[in-house]
Amino acid sequence: MTTVALTFDDGPYPETTPALLAALGEVRATFFLWGEHAAAHPALVRAIAAAGHAIGNHTWTHPRLTGLDAAARDEEVRRTQDLLAELTGSRPALFRPPYGDTGPAVAQTIAGHGLTEVLWTVDTRDWAGASADEVEAAASRAEPDGIVLMHEGRPATVEAVPRILAGLTARGLQPVPVRG
């Protein structure tokens, strides 16, 4: 079966993460966690991991990394790596730069932490306030082996997930976590 990776950035959020996990059910996805949010909600990080989802690093404060010096970039990544390893028992292998803001300096920083950068092929624009119908429509444009960008803190995304899963299945596409 051909696959599509579902990814969720910026969590965890107590208002939406539990409902998102419930909406995903047995489907596994990748969660790129924001370090400050993970530190504030460690039980949710553990719940994501316990449900079998892949966990990736999304920096500590969600900055535009290309605007930081090397030491600040490294601190953003290292601090999040350390926390996620402490909470889950394993160090993330995947990294998504906030805003997709990347370049050679970012690549060098994440390589130093053994991370693989993951961008996306479909942006649902849930971060811009897209409705559940718009999120679903965007996700329906995912091609085989594509990566769909969504965000945890958006109720419209949580509402759209069951329909996204049904639509992918109807197209013969299996939702999966990103392969590192």
pLDDT mean over 29-44: 98
Cis peptide before 175 (omega within 30 of 0): no
Distances (CA, A) of 35 to 11, 47, 155, 170: 9, 16, 21, 36
Looking at residue 179, what is its pLDDT? 84
Asked if the bond preceding 98 is cis, omega within 30° of 0, the reply is no
The domain ranges of the chain are: 2-176
Q: Given this structure, which CATH class describes domain 2-176? A: alpha beta
Percentage of the chain lying above the pLDDT 90 cut: 98
Q: Is the pLDDT of residue 148 over 90?
A: yes
Q: How far apart are CA 65 and CA 60, in angstroms?
A: 11
Active site residue ranges: 9, 151
Residue tagged 């909600």 (tokens): 41
CA neighbours closer than 13 Å in the CB half-sphere of residue 142: 33
Which of 149, 171, 163 shows the shortest CA–CA distance to 24? 163
Q: Please, which pLDDT band fits residue 111 given cuts at 50, 70 and 90?
A: very high
